[in-house]
Homo-oligomer: A and B are copies of this chain.
Amino acid sequence: MSELKNDRFLKALLREPVDVTPVWMMRQAGRYLPEYKATRAKAGSFMDLCMNPELACEVTIQPLERFPLDAAILFSDILTIPDAMGLQLRFAEGEGPIFDKPVRTEADVNNLFVPDPEGELKYVMDAVRTIRRELNGRVPLIGFSGSPWTLATYMVEGSSSKEYSKVKGMLFDRPDLMHKLLDTTAKAVIQYLNAQIAAGAQAVQIFDTWGGILTPRDYKEFSLNYMQQIIDGLTREADGRKVPVILFTKGGGQWLEAMADTGADALGIDWTCDIGKARERVGDRVALQGNMDPTVLYANPDRIREEVGTILESYGQGSGHIFNLGHGIHQHVDPEHAGAFIKAVHELSPKYHV
């Protein structure tokens, strides 16, 4: 493996000194980029793109060609694991993900299994290997997975949901079944992320997109508990370097202390948290990743720069901050605004690292 030329992302995750605050954007390889849309059109469906390692590599690297980002993230979907379990994922235009075989009954739960990361999910590992080779040490590569609870919401609902009546129905009425589903899924995530690390991922992020719809008690029992199992089960070192783990629960601002207790290296936070107050709460136990409201990117570049400045000032002096949006970049954002955002982070942050 070639030497890493820009390691400020990995250093900041471990709260080691850096020159400037590193920055990347969730969903940075995505529909706001015309070059992404061109590759996507070439690939066919969204899943065709995910399953083609060469094209997945191409779109992963596209934002790095435009912007001086400090990390690349594997282009893939959070629902690859349940698809590999046989739930038959497809994307209906304008409707989001659909599983043709959702998990509704005890038999459905019993049929779930841990997919082989180098079998059913080999296309993901091939993408990691391809990207890592093509990156050639330019920046670190982030691997990722959905959290077990987040995967469960799609697996049980069978699609995106507004009310989550089916998945919460199972949680409240048959907690035993829900635990079994989550347990199998957590085991699958452990193998999946460890395989990504073996294939070359230099950090991993667990996306808990839907942990924030739970009560504090249920969040701990049904989401955090399984993320804890994953963190405990991960290979935390590769190539003689620590592989940091980032935990991101959208809407998890009330639970940062409990999240920090998991042993994650960093917490992703959304924009409803004040990052300075979040830092006071978690102390020096974890780094923080975030947290600009993605809709700020609809504003003019001066306003974007002002917001970046406010967040940097709120986090304050020293390492341990990875700049990001509080959620994925929206598809209708002007790429030049994304560029202004990244530039502002690099230009305004050096004074916090002296």
A residues contacting B by CB (< 8 A) are 163-165, 168-169, 172-173, 212-219, 251, 253-254, 271-274, 277, 293, 295-296, 298-300, 303, 307, 310, 330, 332
Contacts and interface: CB of A to CB of B under 8 A. Distances in A.
29 contacts: A163-B295, A164-B295, A165-B295, A165-B298, A165-B332, A168-B293, A168-B295, A169-B295, A169-B298, A169-B299, A172-B299, A172-B303, A172-B307, A173-B299, A173-B303, A212-B272, A213-B272, A214-B272, A214-B293, A215-B271, A215-B272, A216-B273, A217-B310, A219-B272, A251-B251, A251-B272, A253-B254, A254-B254, A254-B272
- With most chain B CB atoms within 10 A of its CB, the pick from A274, A298, A307 is A298
Contact of A330 (B165, B251, B254, B296): B165
A213 B250 CA distance: 12
A254 B273 CA distance: 8
Contacts of A298: 165, 168-169, 172-173
Given A172-B295, A295-B172, A274 B165 contact: no
A41 to B, nearest CB: 23
Listed from nearest, the 6 A-B pairs whose CB atoms lie closest are A172-B299, A168-B295, A169-B298, A216-B274, A215-B271, A173-B299
Contacts of A214: 272, 293
A213 B168 CA distance: 23
- With most chain B CB atoms within 10 A of its CB, the pick from A172, A215, A216 is A215
Given A168-B296, A173-B299, A219-B272, 8 more contacts: A165-B298, A169-B298, A172-B298, A173-B303, A216-B272, A251-B251, A253-B254, A254-B272
A222 B295 CA distance: 15
Contact of A173 (B168, B213, B272, B300): B300
Contacts of A253: 254
Contacts of A173: 298-300, 303
Contacts of A218: 293
Nearest to A219: B272
In the complex this chain forms, how many copies of it are found? 2
A11 B251 CA distance: 33
A207 B6 CA distance: 48
- With most chain B CB atoms within 10 A of its CB, the pick from A219, A272, A300, A330 is A272
Contacts of A217: 274, 310
Nearest to A326: B215
A330 B172 contact: no
Contacts of A274: 215-217
A300 B169 CA distance: 9
Contacts of A251: 251, 272
Contacts of A164: 295
A214 B272 CA distance: 6
Contacts of A299: 169, 172-173
A253 B299 CA distance: 27
A251 B165 CA distance: 19
Contacts of A216: 272-274, 277
A215 B293 contact: yes
Nearest to A311: B215
Contacts of A295: 163-165, 168-169, 172
A353 B9 CA distance: 55
